[in-house]
Structure 1
Amino acid sequence: MPMIRIDVTQGRTPEDLAAVSKAIHAAVVGEYRIPEGDYFHVVTEHPRGQVVALDAGLGFERSDGVVMIQVFTQRGRSGEAKAALFAAIARELQGVGVAGEDVFIGYVENGAEDWSFGFGRAQYSTGELATPDTRNAS
């Protein structure tokens, strides 16, 4: 049940933003085999100049169409599973017109006790929700 933050520069249509979100969700569902309904995304648009993503010394240029993605999820997935997710996200985004060099992903892990889905309760910790088994995800 990852939560995804997506930051982009203003200028995309609402339909384009929805397509970006859906593409990322498709990658997460496909790679981590989460339920389709576990869809928690925050899409934020920023004025030009407020999203900065240089090449980090890799020798390529990004466009102003960069999509910065933060994946917040429970710890326990392997490096191979994370790499597969990164590749799937880039592949899905390419299908909606986002170039590979414009895909930037940060991955943040935490524990079951770090989630509340409402009412101020940590439902994984209280047993109201079953803790996802991250070992079976790719």
Structure 2
Amino acid sequence: MPLTKLHVPSTLPPEICRSIGDLLHTSLVDTCGVNPDDNFCLVARYAADESIIHPTFLGDRDSSSTIVVEITLLAGRSDDQKENFYKDFRERLQKIGFEPNNSIVFLTENNAIDWSFSNAGSVKSVLGL
């Protein structure tokens, strides 16, 4: 049940944003066992003067073209799965012509009680977990 948020420069074309969202979800499915139907992605655009992104922290990047990928998902993935996801995601970015170094990715894990999709309550209660 991931919720992904793509924070992207306002100059990034919508079709590239859609491609990144699609490959992000596919990568999560392939490396982290995410259900293929659990695809929830928000795109937030920012103007060049609305971000402060260090150009060399833990790698070189073009801060004017950098995307920040924020992923919230149910806890339970191993460190190996996460590392495989980071590698796979960046390889997929490269394949669509987006510079992988211009991506910052972070995961936040939580539990089934922390999600609700309807007035039936939390995912935990709906699924009887």
Would the TM-score normalized by the shorter structure come out above 0.5? yes
Q: How many Å separate the matches in 2 of 1:94 and 1:75?
A: 28
Matched, 1:84 2:71: no
Aligned to 2:21: 21
The normalised TM-score by structure 2 is 0.88
Aligned pairs for 1:21-40 (under 5 A) are 21-40=21-40
Q: Tell me, which stretches of 5 or more residues in structure 2 are unaligned?
A: none
How many residues in Structure 1 have an aligned counterpart in Structure 2?
129
The aligned amino acid for 1:78 is: S
Shift of 1:118: 2.1
Q: How many Å separate the matches in 2 of 1:120 and 1:10?
A: 37
Contact 1:23 1:96 in 2 (8 A): no
Contact 1:5 1:43 in 2 (8 A): yes
Q: 1:49 to 1:33 in 2, by over 3 A?
A: same
Contact 1:65 1:98 in 2 (8 A): no
1:79-133 superposed Cα distances (whole Å, 9 cap, x missing partner): 111111111111111122221211101110111110011226102x21x2376xx
* Structure 1 stretches of 4+ moved >2 Å: 55-59, 128-131
Q: 1:60 to 1:14 in 2, by over 3 A?
A: closer
Q: Tell me, which stretches of 5 or more residues in structure 1 are unaligned?
A: 132-138
Identity %, equivalent residues:
22
Q: How many Å separate the matches in 1 of 2:81 and 2:74?
A: 13
Contact 1:26 1:92 in 2 (8 A): no
Q: How many Å separate the matches in 1 of 2:113 and 2:100?
A: 34
Shift of 1:56: 5.6
Q: Secondary structure at the match of 1:88?
A: helix
Q: CA RMSD in A?
A: 1.9
Aligned pairs for 1:1-138 (under 5 A) are 1-55=1-55, 57-119=57-119, 121-123=121-123, 125-126=124-125, 128-129=126-127
Q: Secondary structure at the match of 2:117?
A: coil
- Higher strand fraction: Structure 1 or Structure 2? 2
Contact 2:8 2:45 in 1 (8 A): yes
The aligned amino acid for 2:76 is: G
98-107 or 49-58, larger mean C-alpha shift? 49-58
Q: How many Å separate the matches in 1 of 2:50 and 2:109?
A: 26
